[in-house]
Structure 1
Amino acid sequence: MRVMDTMTKKLMSAVCAVAAVAFPPPGEAASVPPSVISAAVASWSQREAAEVLDALDTALGTYVDPEKGEAARAFTRANRARYLTLEDRVAFAGQLTTEVGAALGDKHFYIRATGPGAGVAAMVDPAARAAAEAAEAYGIASVRRLPANIGYLDLRSFGSTPESASRINAAMDLLQDTGALIIDLRANRGGGAAVMDALIGRLASSPIPRSVRLWRREDGGFDRQQPESAAFPIDRLYGRPVYVLTANFTISAAEAFAYDLQSAGRVKVVGETTRGGANPMNRPLHDLGHGLFAYVANGRSENPITGASPNGVGVRPDIPTQPEDALAVAYASALEDLPAAAPDTRLGGEVEMARADPEAQLRSSFDLTPHQVQGGARRVNEPRAAP
């Protein structure tokens, strides 16, 4: 691509430094950082550990694939004595997340450790969850008009409430008249269906074939659920090119969103292959007791076009690149998609400048200085301080 020949790795990384600080290492999303829990709270007795293991055994019995669930239960029982020697709850949660997740072959499985009252209500209570979503702006980290009238939506999670759908529609209203759209899911940890249904509904004039969800029942059978995208009048539909940015951190509902749109040919995915943790759960986290909670998927999905899902394999990008470079790569590609604009107009001048030096235009849009870039790079590797 002509515009890409002029780009340097250094500047592409600089442009995306703001997004990069949000990428934790692959295992970090599974639990609260140790600094949140004091040493006194983190330590516990073998009796407490045994009670958690018993509760986990019950939870694994609900896993979507009964054979894999039983295999994970057998693995956990075989290693019970070793787990009982772990005197730190956070280390216990992290080790079981890694080992039991591997036994399941499920990258979405995790056990989360919290301090007393730290985030517990939002895990199990719908009202508290709604309040937590509101406090995070419903996952909407940034809505921007980039130079040359390209829209940018940085979405960190998918909200599950009607209010979250209302907010994503407000964001899309601001982006409605852009010539192309970039949806950034590189730091998206997943979430609920409300935002997914609304956003997919906005992006196509004809319905996007959605993956059916199959929920395991207690009797071993499955209930079939067909998601439906929200309906909008034609003047609120976005029909221009759309790019979705992904990283290995991208998981859960974010993968389902990208996969269905990519399978339908509606978007181009740019970045790296996503986590591959796409099996859903339609109930609150399992409360294992003593401040530990487990995500044990009781559902799976199947796309009507591919007959498959991204679980275990991830969403593979149409344009592979390092995640820190994905925004610059997508922006350069989107510039080529823009319709012709009269050169003597303001927009025509913007397009001409952006195509001549896209990296400079992106850098100016994000107002990044070398000092800010270096500071962002440091923050990626620094542990979070206790509140």
Structure 2
Amino acid sequence: MARAVALLVSLLAFSNAVHCAFSPTLIMDMAKVLMDNYCTPSKLAGMEDAIETASSNTEILSIQDPNTLAGVLTDGVQNTIYDPRVKVTYEPDYVPAVPPPMPEIPPEQLAAVVKATVNVDVLEDNIAYLKIQHIIGEEMAQKIGPLLLEHVWSKVLPTSAMVLDLRYAVSGELSGIPYIVSYYTDAEPLIHIDSVYDRPSDSTTELWSMPTLLGQRYGSSKPLIILTSKNTVGVAEDVAYSLKNLKRATIVGENTAGGSVKIDKIKVGETDFYVSVPVAKSTNPISGKSWEVTGVAPDVEVNAEDALDAATEIIKLRAGIPATVKAAASLVSENYAFESIGEDVGQKLEALADSGEYKMISSRKELEEKLTADLAKLSADKCLKVRDNSPMMLPSDISPEMLIELIKVSFQTDVFENNIGYLRFDMFGEFNQIPVVAQIIVEQVWNKVVDTDAMIIDLRNNAGGSINPIAGFSSYFFDADKEIVLDKLYDRPSGTTKDLVTLSELTGRRYGSKKSLLILTSGATAGAAEEFVYIMKNHGRAMIIGETTSGSCQPPKPFPVGDTSIILAIPTTHSDTAQGIAWEGAGIAPHIPVPAEAALDTAKGILNKHFSGQK
């Protein structure tokens, strides 16, 4: 009530002149028009009390110019109920428009009118293009239906996809909403499309899809793109919003105008002022919301002039998506490290493609994100995904000086009290110049810690990397007198198992098997780092301190998906043990569980206590 009173008081503040230019009841009459007709009465709470308060004011309106007064009244109403659709105008010559009855036009002339007002074309790749500027009602559609079928619908019906252009649609009839929506849905089951509340009659009309139509339906399976602009208004907005919420169409273009399903221009009392009032309100049964005022937001936002090109690109993308998803499913079935899981994931992913789960995809990025999400959900393996980048390799022409600096920043070393070595690195690298790199690492890193009496290897931030250095790195912590099988790796594509063994020859000196080795882990320790931790723990060579590792996977291999540029990362190898899964998906539990941030102090404390006991 306070807001409504404030509106009338602010408007009546102009009533100070001594000459009566307009009816003193103008504001109260205008308010009554709103009270009786505005589509959302809850926003007018307290208006009746405000009218009664204002009616006792005998001041006359002071603004002399009627158009200025109309502007002031418009601003006052819009700022009070926050609805830009409500407008006050001064129109002494206004004559309400009455739609003329449809004249009896010869069929050939009517056909020419239909051709001129509805733009229809068949674009490249069998894409229909249908441009509509006015959405006709059911009654009119029935009258000119045969002509529409002959000159418009017969051309687009055989196409494989459609672009419905509503960028210039500025008018329409309410009964046309279910009529046009029904052509893009199935006959059964009937669909509740919209509910429209009419304020003057205080009644709600439910709009449902139609069980029978003139001619064939376009159906619910072929791609449908609707083009919109900031000028798309009214009934066309309702059509776009309905088909969007039914997930039948993708909206491409600009946010629509935010109009109304019905706006009446109502005379204010006996004056020449009129109020344009939205008298009906649309509420979508799926979203529970309305497109009015805010407009219909596009699924793919582009400038209106670029919308058609964007739409055709989306349709072309969608045409290849089923084959792409099925190609991905086959790759997983044939190559995923765990055979039974891979086959199950492949079958379920293919079923998703057949079910239409991917039919509303609008960009390659969206396709990659959904494919990754579905693979993770079906496999419970976060490593099985669309690869977002290529593994980094050092350029072959890198200078020795640059290589030394890179290695220096990639490794961190220290020697603590009691001659305890500390080595941290956050990635197992893949190098082109293996002998050269190995020699530099020995000289710049390894030699700083190899002569310590115990070592702490910090892998808390090691995200994995290449599996290739694992055998060599592990070998430094075993003796050279015998070959040790570190792990057995099963390779799914070849169906073979390979022994991962210690190397007999290494660059630099070994640390050996006798000195204490502690490894720090966290929930971020992943991939190749987990394989190293697993080997050291499984062979009793190291004490693990920290948190359970990530439960990631052996480094996945890249697979191109079909003829696309999409690359699928598939784990093809797993640690082969008699007990089944070793660490993939489960992680490696530490011997001494502590928060990651406390792991280093815990390890130093254990070793310091050990060495102090020896003294």
Note the 1:195-344 alignment, pairs <5 A: 195-205=469-479, 207-217=483-493, 222-232=495-505, 236-238=510-512, 239-281=514-556, 284-288=557-561, 291-303=565-577, 309-338=582-611
Q: Give yes or no for contact 2:488–2:497 (8 Å, CA) kept in 1.
A: yes
Kept in 2, the 8 Å contact 1:196–1:257? The answer is yes
Contact 1:107 1:276 in 2 (8 A): no
Work out whether 1:188 is the aligned partner of 2:462: yes
CA distance in 1 between counterparts of 2:592 and 2:421 reads 19
Higher helix proportion:
1
SS in 2 for 1:151: strand
- The one-letter amino acid of 2:421's match is G
1:31-180 to structure 2, matched below 5 A, reads 45-47=317-319, 49-50=321-322, 52-60=324-332, 61-80=334-353, 81-113=356-388, 119-120=389-390, 122=391, 137=406, 141-148=410-417, 149-161=419-431, 162-163=434-435, 164-170=437-443, 171-180=445-454
Give the counterpart letter for 2:376 in structure 1: G
Matched residue SS, 2:460: coil
Question: How many angstroms does 1:336 deviate by?
Answer: 2.3
The structural deviation recorded for 1:73 is 1.5
* 1:72 maps to amino acid: V
Distance change >3 Å, CA 165–CA 339, structure 1 → 2: farther
Q: Is the 8 A contact 1:246 1:270 kept in 2?
A: yes
Deviation at 1:139, TM superposition (A): 10
Q: CA deviation at 1:179?
A: 2.6
For residues 20-74 of structure 1, the C-alpha deviation after alignment (integer angstroms, 9 at most, x for no partner) is xxxxxxxxxxxxxxxxxxx99xx96324644542431232122233322221122
Supply the distance in 1 between the matched residues of 2:408 and 2:357 (Cα, whole angstroms). Answer: 39
Deviates more, 1:84-93 or 1:146-155: 84-93
Amino acid of the structure 2 residue aligned with 1:272: E
- Structure with bigger RCO (C-alpha 8 Å, 6+ apart): 1
TM-score, normalised by the number of residues in structure 2: 0.41
The CA deviation string for residues 326-370 of structure 1, in whole angstroms up to 9 with x for no partner, is: 22222222322336798xxxxxxxxxxxxxxxxxxxxxxxxxxxx
Task: Map residues 337-352 of structure 1 onto 2, 5 A cutoff.
Answer: 337-338=610-611
CA distance, structure 2, for counterparts of residue 91 and residue 109 of structure 1: 17
* One-letter code aligned to 1:187: N
The percent identity for this pair of structures is 22
Q: Which residue of 2 aligns with 1:384?
A: none
Q: 1:286 to 1:217 in 2, by over 3 A?
A: closer
- Secondary structure of the residue aligned to 2:451 is coil
Q: Is the 8 A contact 1:108 1:252 kept in 2?
A: no
Aligned equivalents of 2:577, 2:361: Cα separation in 1: 41
1:67/1:235 CA distance change after superposition, 3 Å: closer
Offset from partner CA, 1:188-219 (integer Å, 9 cap, x none): 2222244212221111226554111121246x
Amino acid at match of 2:410: A
- Aligned Cα RMSD in Å? 3.6
User: Equivalents in 1 of 2:594, 2:426: separation in Å?
Assistant: 20
Distance 1:247 1:91 in 2: 32
Report if aligned partners of 1:75, 1:100 keep a CA contact under 8 Å in 2: no
Residues 546 and 594, structure 2, Cα contact 8 Å, conserved in 1? yes
In 2, Cα distance between equivalents of 1:204 and 1:151: 17
- TM-score of the two chains, using structure 1 as the length reference: 0.63
Unaligned runs of 5+ in 1: 1-38, 114-118, 343-387
Query: 1:190, 1:254 within 8 Å by CA — same for their partners in 2?
Result: yes
User: When you count strand as a share of all residues, which structure comes out higher?
Assistant: 2
The answer for unaligned runs of 5 or more in structure 2 is 1-300, 303-312
- Give the 3 Å change call, closer, same or farther, for CA 224–168 of structure 1 in structure 2: farther
SS of 1:257 mapped into structure 2: helix
Q: Distance in 2 between matches of 1:110 and 1:129?
A: 29
For structure 1, which segment, 209-218 or 91-100, has the greater mean C-alpha deviation from structure 2 after superposition?
A: 91-100
Instruction: Report the alpha carbon displacement of residue 168 of structure 1 after superposing the two structures with TM.
Output: 4.4
Displacement of 1:153: 1.7
Call closer, same or farther: CA 1:329–1:323 in 2, change over 3 Å: same
Equivalent-residue separation in structure 2 for 1:174 and 1:242 (angstroms):
16
SS class of match (2:500): coil
Change (3 A) 1:136 1:339: same
Is the contact between residue 157 and residue 188 of structure 1 (CA under 8 Å) also seen in structure 2? Answer: yes
> What is the DSSP-based 3-state SS (H/G/I as helix, E as strand, rest coil) of the residue aligned with 1:278?
coil
